Structure 1
Amino acid sequence: MNSENPTSPPPASNQLRNLLVAIAAIILTTALFFGFQAQQSSTSLDAVAAAAMPIDEALANDKPTTIEFYADWCSSCQSMAADNLSLEKEYSDRMNFVMLNVDNTKWLPEVTKYRVDGIPRFIFLDRANQAIGDTTGAIPREIMAANIEAAIANQPLPHNSISSDRTSPITEPKAADISQPRDHGTKS
């Protein structure tokens, strides 16, 4: 009797099949890796912030200014990063672009002054550093460009004081609780 099973493939074809499966798995893994990399935003908030001008420099020259209040955790801020970087590159010779991270307490006076309660928040200043408009939330590039062009031309902003539904609310930092465990309920 023949002990070999006639339905099982010979060992050489098993090795070839296993090799083809391994190659296909490597190709699929590589394709998935590069596919996910391409889906991620190629522009980060850090890149936009690095291209931005320091606020003291912006307020010292005679160009209008756009101040963006943002945070690294803000998905709307991240979604606008590529558009904002392209706007900075296109208009930086005629407009100042400033980025202030709301998580940095250094900017608390500006956050308070401009009443920032949601991000991204854009404040538009004229050449004399007076607020001439604002937008809050993820704003389309075309609207931002129209506001920038109007500010440069010293014209009223066509899209002034608008808010989108894609904002990230922020709250003021809470004061530290300095009460002592035995302070509750005792009277002097």
Structure 2
Amino acid sequence: MRNATEQDFDEIVMKNAKPVLVDFWAPWCGPCKALAPTLEELAEEYADEMDIVKVNIDENPKLAERFAVRGIPLLLIVKEGAETARAFGTMSRSRLDAFVDANVGGA
């Protein structure tokens, strides 16, 4: 799992050959912190199929604006440089797996 900034986001996410799950979060966001361990597990399990990238919206407000982030945690799936899916709010592991499987393909 990596962090992306306004400077390297396009390189890390939009030009990535693999699908990317982008986690828009902030340090003050309780649900974001609750989701983090699940995303860590997912990053390991799906390492061959996709990358997971975290974006701190406090440090990267232009990215939050670019993707019309209205609330966090917000998860986006980006494939071949385009957003293909988004999910908002806290998710159970089973819902997160279903979201990834539906939009990325199973591990």
- The Cα shift of 1:87 comes to 0.6
Residue aligning to 1:14:
none
Higher relative CO (CA 8 A, sep ≥ 6), structure 1 or 2? 2
Residue aligning to 1:142:
94
- The code of the aligned residue for 2:14 comes to L
* 2:13/2:81 contact within 8 Å kept: no
Question: Pairwise CA RMSD of aligned residues?
Answer: 1.5
Of all paired residues, the percent bearing the same amino acid is: 25
* 1:124/1:132 contact within 8 Å kept: yes
Runs of 4 or more above 6 Å deviation: none
CA deviation profile, 1:101-130 (whole Å, cap 9, x unmatched): 0110xx22221121111110111112x121
Residue aligning to 1:123:
76
Does 1:108 pair with 2:61? Answer: yes
* 1:65/1:129 contact within 8 Å kept: no
TM-score by length of 1: 0.49
More helix, by proportion: 1
Residue aligning to 2:22:
67
Inter-partner Cα distance in structure 2 for 1:133 and 1:102: 19
* 2:20/2:77 contact within 8 Å kept: yes
Structure 1 unaligned blocks of 5 or more: 1-50, 154-188
Greater Rg over alpha carbons, structure: 1
Residue aligning to 1:132:
84
- The code of the aligned residue for 2:47 comes to S
CA deviation profile, 1:32-70 (whole Å, cap 9, x unmatched): xxxxxxxxxxxxxxxxxxx32543223322111111110
Does 1:95 pair with 2:45? Answer: no
Inter-partner Cα distance in structure 2 for 1:53 and 1:110: 13
Structure 2 unaligned blocks of 5 or more: none
